[in-house]
Amino acid sequence: MKAYVFPGQAAQFPGMGKDIYESNPEAKLLFKQANDIIGFDLSAIMFEGTEEQLKQTNITQPSVFVHSVIKAKVFSKDKPDAVAGHSLGEFSALVAANSLSFEDGLLLVQKRANSMQKACELNPGTMAAILGLEDSIVEEICKKIGNDVVAANYNCPGQLVISGSIDSVKQAMDLCTAAGAKRAILLQVGGAFHSPLMKPAQDQLEAAIAATNFKNPDCPIFQNYTAMPSMDPAQIKLNLINQLTSPVLWAKTINNMLDFGVTKFSEVGGSGMVIRGMIRQINREIPTDSL
């Protein structure tokens, strides 16, 4: 049983997708379609833009989404038995499973990115990866500091990302290091994703999701908010809305997919190594590849 897994923000890189565009007529049409949908030449930024340009949330998210979805459409020979996506990657997964159309998925991602960009400007924040410390210890440290910093991404054993106001995240990093963390790394992100500081973006995205047509997916999608499989469009919508201010339960998601019967994971998009690296930390025995 095979699953497709899709990366989120931070999977971007200069030149992403250019090789597919130049070598595959179907991909070329899809890139041009994406430019028309989004209203500017996204592919030019993906192919020729700098790292700094690609780090802007309103560029990063549609770029990663388009790259992932086009890879899935062009290179997929068999339908997956299950899908999942890390944060933004959940939208790519929904398109791959035919719950969302390419156009509707891209419009939602554009809305999500622009809303998050505004929320970041309204409530400046950041994120940090805490390595080599028990989740429960990191959670307790965040609680001691207060509501300004929370656990955001449960990526794999020994890697928990925290999110919140800049001062609170830095304070939590110091306390985690003092408690025995191997490393505490400040991430180069635009804001406090998957934290309460994203509430203004959640309010805007909720209306857009409610107005979008979601179909029953071709296979179960394991969603970040619950780490459980979903097939019902109404439940999928609710989980997508809640995802923006809630932690990404990625390690639990992968373990639940294994319990479901998945025997191989294919990462679709980005460098093809980000999600695979996390999966290897969760279960070294399970085969992974890049689509």
User: CA angle 78-64-129, nearest 5°?
Assistant: 110
Pairwise CA distance, residues 132 & 18, whole Å: 37
| Residue 86 is among the residues annotated as catalytic for this protein | no
Please tell me whether residue 280 adopts helix, strand or coil conformation: helix
Q: Strand ranges (DSSP E) for the chain?
A: 2-6, 82-85, 126-131, 149-156, 159-164, 183-186, 221-222, 229-230, 264-267, 288-290
Calculate the CA dihedral of residues 238, 164, 45, 112 and round it to 10 degrees.
20
**Neighbouring residues of 42: CB distance < 8 A, sequence distance ≥ 6:** 34, 35, 59, 62, 63, 66
How long a stretch of residues is the chain? Answer: 291
Cβ count within 10 A of residue 93: 30
Residue 56 DSSP code: S
| Residue 63 is among the residues annotated as catalytic for this protein | no
3-state helix, strand, coil in the chain (%, to 5): 50, 15, 35
Catalytic residue among 67, 168, 194, 246: 194
Closest CA to 201 of 149, 163, 244: 244
Catalytic residue among 43, 87, 92, 195: 87
Instruction: Tell me which residues are annotated as active site.
Output: 87, 194
